[in-house]
Amino acid sequence: MKDRTSEYDYAKLIKEEKEHYSKIEITEHLKEGGAHANDSWHYYWQGVAQEISKSAFSNMADYLDRNFGGRHRPIRILSLGSGYCGNEVDWARSLRSSYLITCTDINDQLFLRAAEVAEREGLSMEFLAEDLNFIQIEPGRFDLIFAHAILHHVINLEHLLDQIVHGLSKDGLLHLVEVVGMNRKLIWDENERFANALLEFVPKQITRGLHLTVDFAADGMEGVRQEDVLPLLRERFRPVFEWQHGAFMRYICTHPELGRYFDPNSEVARPFLDFLIDGDSSAVRHRVLRPLEIWGVYSPLRSPSDVAPER
């Protein structure tokens, strides 16, 4: 394995990552709060959920029960970069079959509240401190490997993706929720210009004249090799279901001010929020703009035995 972390001040990056995510507001559901809790962001994701609902994977716990339950062993799920573990706790509460969910993160302090919930409710979960740049996944062990907004924080992407292939069971799947735009920034310049052009059509009584101005990430590993995620993924996996979306809506809805101004509960603001969402969706659908986000389920192009573990 080529260790690309040696190209960086890796100890500094790790320190910045831990500090950043230790300060983030968390909701009672163990999800990221703050701007990500804006009603406009939830409203946008309702539309994404409608598209996902057309697939067999809209209810992942139900899919796992139907396809992996009732075997001689528990359903085995590995979550990479689990953070606060809100999604994993939701699955644990919903699964009807026996299961074991293994949560991993480089910052084991983020697990504390989820670990308390798991112990209190008797959920079959374990929590491991792992550096995904160097992780070794047990061969053929997991029926589902879940990565939620974590690959864009990984430097040794080739290593991690090969380990995922190697770690999947015979019918195992990778479930990915990821951002895939410009390195260190995410939103492409042309997407930002397009969004600001659309904002010009919105009355200033809503926008207060604000526009998007997105800076490059300066700390941690945010978006460090973001542009490589999709090409490397395509080399190793085929999509069973994939929904590409979000040319710029993330930056509207999580903006500290615009995200609140485009309140879907407001009869005045909601039509303009819909206008922006329609513009975003059309631009992605007609390939006018590159999507920044994917929600997908993937199977490996090669069987796990074809990929030797990297020791």
- At 220-241, the pLDDT tens digits run 999 999 999 999 999 999 999 9
pLDDT tens per residue across span 241-253: 999 999 999 999 9
pLDDT tens per residue across span 126-156: 999 999 999 999 999 999 999 999 999 999 9
Angle of helix 270-285 versus helix 189-199 axis, rounded to 10: 150
pLDDT of res. 80: 98
On the question of pLDDT at 33 being above 80, the answer is: no
Which residue reads 């310049």 in tokens? 189
- Chain-centroid distance of CA 116 in Å reads 24
How far apart CA 264 and CA 274 sit, in angstroms, is 9
Q: Which of the four pLDDT bands, split at 50, 70 and 90, describes residue 303?
A: low
Instruction: Give the phi and the psi of residue 77 in degrees, each rounded to 5.
Output: -125, 130
On the question of pLDDT at 307 being above 50, the answer is: no
Q: Which of the four pLDDT bands, split at 50, 70 and 90, describes residue 22?
A: confident
How far apart CA 182 and CA 184 sit, in angstroms, is 6
Which pTM does this prediction carry? 0.94
Domains of the chain: which residue ranges?
A: 4-302
How far apart CA 307 and CA 166 sit, in angstroms, is 6
In which region does residue 120 sit, left (phi positive, over 0), alpha (psi from -120 to 50) or beta (all else)? alpha
pLDDT of res. 310: 37
How far apart CA 148 and CA 234 sit, in angstroms, is 18
Kindly report the average pLDDT of the chain as a whole number: 94
pLDDT of res. 309: 41
pLDDT tens per residue across span 58-93: 999 999 999 999 889 999 999 999 999 999 999 999
| 4-302: CATH topology | Rossmann fold (3.40.50)
Bridge-based pairing of strands 293-300 and 168-179 is antiparallel
How far apart CA 33 and CA 68 sit, in angstroms, is 32
